């Protein structure tokens, strides 16, 4: 019976992901790496339990990616973007530009095709700061200026990564770097973002209307009183729905709808999910929403990482691993240099800590790898390299951050001592 | 791109299910019927959007069925079984026996093969009392004796349905009604139930240990003090897990594990999910658990019903519908008669209301249809008939319940008046 083998594999994949996650979390590393490595173990390289035949797992992985990107979007609060300021913006922009440009040219030098080089470069772009946040928390630095810059930059980073992904997959689909194509792609994503954010924000405000009013009233008295009256006159259409969990259902429909719409206009489907998250990220009941989506993420996201891990093919170990090492070094150095350059006005110590904190790649890079692989634009080896680089940067980042913080603190103490000595001598 | 069409169909299926559910819920009918009918509309009979080619939807349907049966199990509280008493038990047993026996022989008379007749009879067995509960609530009778008997009987009903399903699918797999096979199947399910409930309950008590103690202390002082000390000495292993939502993750693993195990020993996978629900139904934090599973059900269960609806093939309308009508009549009359016979000691009015309340079939019958269809034991026409009977009984039940309650109330009033007249005359 087909169903039975299906459920057995679902059980194995889920169990392996959670055991892998548990093990690496005990080592104070992010669960993602454990889930990916569980996938590598289950995949054709080692146990061969999950192979490309088991396409039913792909649909779970797709759903996992959808809800993952939705939560990434939810964490990207547009209202916070105004607060993070110029430093975070320059850290994000330089931290995206450096790995992309250098990653692209290094990949070309390593004999990748220009389309593959583009995907590799794009996968090196997005930062996953979960691990950084934890390391800084451990070191009692989560409220520091560095942490604020890193978290702010990561938000902008995600949006930039989506734009880079759109450009890359758009030009890859057109199989060339035609400048008209690029303009069309940019116009497309601009229209999509404009329509989604303007219409979406309005619809959300209309649906969750009453909640937003109190928030607005403190800002602009006269306008919001008008708005308040309107909202009180007509009830939110959401409240007229009789079914269970109606707001949650409506959001699920929006997530699937925007994903389908994004792919219809030629963007990656997950960009739709990301923007769905963005739309709902600024509503007042975000906390309640995240609470509802949490079980979906706990169930589905592990399938994404296990399946992504299982697609890693290490049969060409000798050709894959050296390239992965070179690109990991490129990924680390470019991010470190780019982000440090963006924050250099805040002093060397801050710049270096911010640079190190932005090193870990994660979810978004893996999603980019998946899209290239599913499009058939990048081969199995290139895909495997992207996953390995993602794992390696994430595993290395905590050591790098701790080393830099300790070294800089020591240096600072030495210079303080030196100054202290000078002063005491005079 | 495969992923894009996938997401579009997921969007359409989910949207259709929720719109269908919303419409029928406004008519005060259960969402299930709306979701099934949405599936019929999307299926090959009408729009042809969801066909057997879209096998990726089947995996979502399987997951939906798994979590659906898990919640059915969660609602089947073993501790309540002791309370419901003999009346509920006899209502359940007779309400299962009558449709099964009559359904089987009527199907044989209608020229179905014996295996198909068995599946049809099994699908006629399980009651879905959600709609009944709502009708009784509307009529202010939810706290009545009838309601208590119905809800108690429905719990036993589900367990009996699982046993019938196991026997039927076991004998169908053996392709014959060999008495040794039946004994083996009964032994198998007995072992499975024994191992799962004994081991499972112990594991759950161990994992969620501290919570259970207070509950036990009032029952048996000396024993529970010993137990309490033990539980206090060693911490629950669940609390040692570092990952997010660890208890929820462990339960998900148990659900998938028992489903895989059930199918490994030759039972239907969903029986494992049902027993997983049963194990956790008596823990103290059931409410919290149901809260976590709610979003999974909201997302996944509609896919089950839409996909099940989409498998209904009405191209042979002329041959399917008359048979469906005959079997609907059989389904209604046998359940009504069987359950009423079980409750006859409580008077005619109670017996008839209980009988009518047990008429709606639903989830479990559809799951049984799916299993037969997936096994290849029942054909597309038989499957379609099972789904149509399920829909028809559920749609008809509210009218039947209201008619019987009104008629019986009128009769009662008339006899009261008569008695009153007699008394006033003397």
Mean of the pLDDT values across residues A88-104?
93
The alpha carbon dihedral of B35, B37, B40, B46 has a sign of negative
Burial class (CB in 10 A: 0-12, 13-18, 19+), A251: buried
| pLDDT > 60? residue B324 | yes
Give me the residues of B, 364-423, that contact A with CB < 8 A: 374-375
Mean of the pLDDT values across residues B145-164?
83
Q: What is the pLDDT of residue A225?
A: 36
| pLDDT > 50? residue A68 | yes
Judging contacts by C-beta atoms under 8 Å, the chain B residues touching residue A14 are 252-253, 256
CA distance B165 to chain A (A): 16
Read off φ and ψ for residue B391, nearest 5 degrees: -60, -45
| Digit-coded pLDDT (tens) for B388-405 | 998 888 888 888 988 998
| pLDDT > 70? residue A210 | no
- Beta carbons of A77 and A310 less than 8 angstroms apart: no
| Digit-coded pLDDT (tens) for A168-209 | 877 777 655 567 766 776 777 778 878 887 887 777 766 665
| Digit-coded pLDDT (tens) for A362-381 | 778 888 888 888 888 888 89
The alpha carbon dihedral of B396, B399, B405, B407 has a sign of negative
Residue B355 has, within 13 A of its CA and on its CB side, a CA count of 28
DSSP string, B217-257: HTT-HHHHHHHHHHHHHS--HHHH--STTHHHHHHHHHHHH
Give me the residues of B, 260-319, that contact A with CB < 8 A: 260, 263-264, 269, 292-296, 298-299
Residue contact A295–B298, C-beta within 8 A = no
Dig out the tokens for A388 from the structure. 């390995």
In this prediction, what percent of chain B has a pLDDT beyond 70? 84
Dig out the tokens for B210 from the structure. 């501290």
B27 at interface of A, judged by CB pairs closer than 8 A: no
DSSP string, B9-71: HHHHHHHHHHHHHHHHHHTT--HHHHHHHHHHHHSTTTT--S-TT-THHHHHHHHHHHHHHHH
Q: Which residue has the higher pLDDT, A422 or A51?
A: A51
Q: What is the pLDDT of residue B331?
A: 94
| Digit-coded pLDDT (tens) for B279-306 | 887 776 677 778 889 999 999 999 988 9
Q: What is the pLDDT of residue B181?
A: 67
Read off φ and ψ for residue B251, nearest 5 degrees: -65, -40
Nearest CA in chain B to A22: B243
| Digit-coded pLDDT (tens) for B302-315 | 998 898 888 888 88
Q: What totals of helices (H) and strands (E) does chain A contain, helices first?
A: 17, 0
Q: What is the pLDDT of residue B84?
A: 65
A259 at interface of B, judged by CB pairs closer than 8 A: yes
Residue contact A256–B21, C-beta within 8 A = no
Q: What is the pLDDT of residue B19?
A: 94
Q: What is the pLDDT of residue B235?
A: 53
Nearest CA in chain A to B11: A256
| Digit-coded pLDDT (tens) for A140-179 | 787 788 888 888 888 788 878 888 887 887 777 765 556 7
Burial class (CB in 10 A: 0-12, 13-18, 19+), A180: exposed
Rounded CA-CA distance B376/A308 in Å is 33
Mean of the pLDDT values across residues A270-298?
82
Residue contact B245–A14, C-beta within 8 A = no
A239 at interface of B, judged by CB pairs closer than 8 A: no
pLDDT band at B86 (very low <50, low <70, confident <90, very high): confident
How large is the ipTM? 0.80
Residue contact A248–B295, C-beta within 8 A = yes
| pLDDT > 90? residue B103 | yes
B206 at interface of A, judged by CB pairs closer than 8 A: no
Contacts of A63 (CB under 8 A, 6+ apart): A300, A303, B10, B60
Q: What is the pLDDT of residue B72?
A: 81
């Amino acid at each position: 019976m087909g169903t039975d083998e299906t459920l057995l594999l679902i059980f194995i994949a889920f169990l392996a992901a959670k055991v892998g996650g548990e093990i690496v979390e005990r080592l104070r590393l992010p669960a993602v790496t454990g889930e990916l490595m569980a996938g590598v173990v289950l995949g054709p390289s080692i146990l061969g339990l999950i192979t490309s035949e088991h396409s039913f797992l792909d649909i779970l992985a797709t759903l996992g990616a959808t809800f993952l990107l939705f939560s990434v979007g939810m964490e990207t609060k547009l209202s916070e973007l105004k607060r993070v300021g110029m430093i975070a913006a320059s850290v994000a922009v330089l931290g995206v530009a450096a790995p992309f440009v250098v990653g692209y040219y290094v990949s070309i030098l390593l004999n990748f095709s220009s389309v593959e080089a583009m995907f590799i470069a794009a996968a090196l772009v997005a930062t996953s700061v979960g691990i950084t946040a934890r390391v800084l928390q451990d070191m009692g630095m989560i409220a520091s200026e560095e942490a604020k810059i890193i978290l702010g930059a990561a938000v902008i980073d995600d949006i930039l990564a989506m734009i880079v992904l759109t450009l890359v997959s758009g030009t890859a689909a057109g199989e060339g770097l035609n400048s008209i194509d690029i303009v069309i792609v940019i116009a497309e994503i601009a229209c999509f973002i404009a329509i989604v954010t303007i219409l979406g924000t309005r619809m959300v405000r209309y649906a969750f209307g009453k909640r937003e009013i109190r928030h607005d009233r403190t800002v602009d008295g006269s306008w919001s009183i008008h708005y308040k009256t309107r909202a009180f006159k007509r009830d939110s259409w959401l409240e007229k729905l009789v079914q269970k969990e109606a707001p949650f259902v409506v959001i699920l429909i929006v997530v699937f709808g925007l994903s389908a719409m994004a792919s219809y206009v030629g963007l990656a489907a997950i960009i739709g999910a990301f923007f769905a998250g963005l739309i709902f990220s600024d509503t007042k009941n975000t906390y309640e929403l995240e609470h509802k989506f949490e079980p979906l993420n706990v169930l589905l996201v592990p399938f994404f990482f296990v399946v992504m891990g299982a697609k890693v093919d290490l049969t060409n170990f000798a050709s894959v691993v050296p390239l992965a090492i070179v690109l990991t070094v490129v990924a680390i150095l470019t991010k470190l240099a780019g982000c440090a350059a963006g924050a250099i006005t805040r002093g060397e110590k801050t710049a270096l800590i911010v640079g190190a904190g932005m090193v870990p790649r994660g979810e978004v890079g893996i999603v980019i790898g998946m899209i290239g692989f599913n499009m058939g634009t990048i081969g199995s080896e290139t895909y495997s390299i992207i996953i390995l680089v993602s794992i390696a940067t994430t595993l290395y980042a905590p050591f790098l951050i701790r080393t830099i913080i300790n070294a800089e603190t020591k240096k600072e103490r030495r210079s303080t001592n030196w100054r202290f000595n000078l002063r005491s001598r005079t």
